[in-house]
Amino acid sequence: MKIRRACEQHPPSPQGASANRAPSDGTVGGSGSGSSSIRRFHFCVPAKAGRAWQKRNRRLVARRFKGTYHQKVDGKGRVSVPASFRRVIELCDPDWTEGLRPNFIIVYGLDYQKRLDCFTLEAIEEIYERIDLMQPGSEEREEMELIYNSFAHDAQIDDDGRIILPQFLRERLELEADEKARFMGRNDHFQIWKESTFNVAYAEQNARMLAGRPPQYDPRVKMPHKPRPET
């Protein structure tokens, strides 16, 4: 989807550029008697910086998991990964090229976790870099290493766009043969849930989120301000 910039200029009219030229005082005259005028303001960043910012944003969006899908897991654990998720995994596998199978990491975590968290190689590397900054031998670092190193599984998408969930992961989710699993985009990763497990977890989370909030609450109020692009 292309988003037009507020400062994009319309092409000149067939009568020539002079028909659209602004007066020397910086105003744009009306089509009537000329007694009123509208001053033109430009709030855009310089074109070069704006293009770089747009290009960066397009790259970031291409590396985000979005949407919810329901995919059948057969008796052998084979399940198709949604096409949009596959594109993200491919883009974020530094060794992937056309014709190769893209790789990613499935984190199944500690015993309380009843879902699978799936990270691209780029995303998991960022997590490992942050773990490296933690104090060696600390309880916090040990927990992170257990979750993201010890309880992690290498996965690969085959030529048919499928992965195989091993038996121990299917048991972790309590999935039955030919049951549909819920694939959910979560920005830098996606999750795989058993539908009934998710419904219970979401009902509890939704109740907490709605508590004390006014009607038509807009969650964007919690977001930090976006930094302005460098000029």
Mean pLDDT, 10 residues at a time, the chain of 231 residues: 44 45 43 45 48 52 90 97 97 95 97 95 97 97 97 97 97 96 96 97 88 86 82 65
Report how many helices (DSSP H) and strands (DSSP E) the chain contains, helices first: 6, 10
27 CB-near residues (< 8 Å, 6+ apart): 37, 38, 39, 40
pLDDT at res. 50: 53
pLDDT at res. 209: 84
**b vs e for 208-225, b when ≥16 Cβ sit within 10 Å of the residue's Cβ?**
eeeeeeeeeeeeeeeeee
CB 79 within 8 A of CB 181: yes
- For the chain, the straight-line distance linking the first and the last C-alpha, in angstroms and rounded, comes to 25
Is the entire prediction scored with pTM above 0.75? no
Kindly report the backbone phi and psi dihedral angles of residue 94, in degrees, each rounded to the nearest multiple of 5, phi listed first: -60, -20
Q: Show the DSSP H helices in the chain as ranges.
A: 47-62, 83-91, 121-132, 139-145, 167-173, 195-210
pLDDT at res. 212: 83
Burial of 156 (0-12, 13-18, 19+ CB in 10 A): middle
CB 153 within 8 A of CB 166: yes
Domain ranges of the chain: 73-209
* CATH class of the structural domain 73-209: alpha beta
pLDDT at res. 52: 52
pLDDT at res. 47: 53
